[in-house]
Structure 1
Amino acid sequence: MATGQIEHVNITVSDADRSAALFRDLLGWHERWSGPSQFGGRTIHVGSDDSYLAIYTNDTAKGGYAKGAPLNHVGLSVADLDAARQVVSAAGLKPFSEGQYDPGPRSFYFFDWDGIEFEVVSYE
């Protein structure tokens, strides 16, 4: 059976530049592409050479999404959980539910400015 990975996730935010900067700082990613969206608005692709977040915005994107409608959260893996927490906090966001699931990785969660929930994990 073939194996695969997530190639990209497309999210809608109220400020694409702010969100792209967060993920560059948090994950060491780079901007792969930026430009007008085919349906209006603007998109920034920020990620690694193999996968990325497509961060979309338009004039009507206001944020305030409800958790679980329809996405529960996006999981991100980092080498240094403490450094990641500092980046999230420095961006004015609040880490919560910090802990370790047995036998899993250490982790914490945060909501971005638009109400999208992210889980940050470290297997180190």
Structure 2
Amino acid sequence: MPKGYLEHANISVTDPERSAALLIDLLGWHERWRGPSMNSGRSIHIGSEVDYLALYTIEHVSGDFATGHPLNHIAFVVDDLSAAEEVVKGHGLEPFGHDDYDPGRRFYFFDWDGIEFEVVNYD
């Protein structure tokens, strides 16, 4: 049976630079690439050596995405949940849904475009 892993997800955002700054601060990721993308759009790839998020924008991207259509949320694992929450707040975003159940503690937040993120710690 083949085995694999998630290499990247491509999401549309209104301001890739702003979203990239959040992910760099929150996860310690780095910019892997930036440049022109399909349909005259532009993208910034932010991630680690093995995985990343492609932050795509084009003129018609307006944000205000509805959770669950079709994406529910994107989740990140961090080594310090409290520090991660301070980063999210420092970017002017509001954490919510704090919970502690097996297998870990977590909180959620919406970015400026209405995309929901989960941040979890398994310690």
Aligned to 1:5: 5
For residue 2 of structure 1, report the CA deviation from its aligned partner. Answer: 3.3
* TM-score, normalising length: structure 2: 0.97
Aligned to 1:123: 122
Q: How far apart, CA to CA, are the structure 2 residues paired with 1:79 and 1:11?
A: 24
Q: Deviations over 1:76-114 (max 9, x none)?
A: 01000000000000101100010112x211100000000
Aligned to 1:57: 57
Aligned to 2:77: 77
Q: CA RMSD in A?
A: 0.8
Q: Deviations over 1:32-53 (max 9, x none)?
A: 0000002211100000000000
Once the two structures are aligned, what percentage of the paired residues are identical?
58
For residue 58 of structure 1, report the CA deviation from its aligned partner. Answer: 1.2
Moved over 2 A (4+): none
Q: Deviations over 1:41-77 (max 9, x none)?
A: 1100000000000000111211000110100001101
Q: How far apart, CA to CA, are the structure 2 residues paired with 1:6 and 1:89?
A: 28
* TM-score, normalising length: structure 1: 0.96
Gapped regions of structure 2 (runs ≥ 5): none
Q: How far apart, CA to CA, are the structure 2 residues paired with 1:5 and 1:76?
A: 15
Gapped regions of structure 1 (runs ≥ 5): none
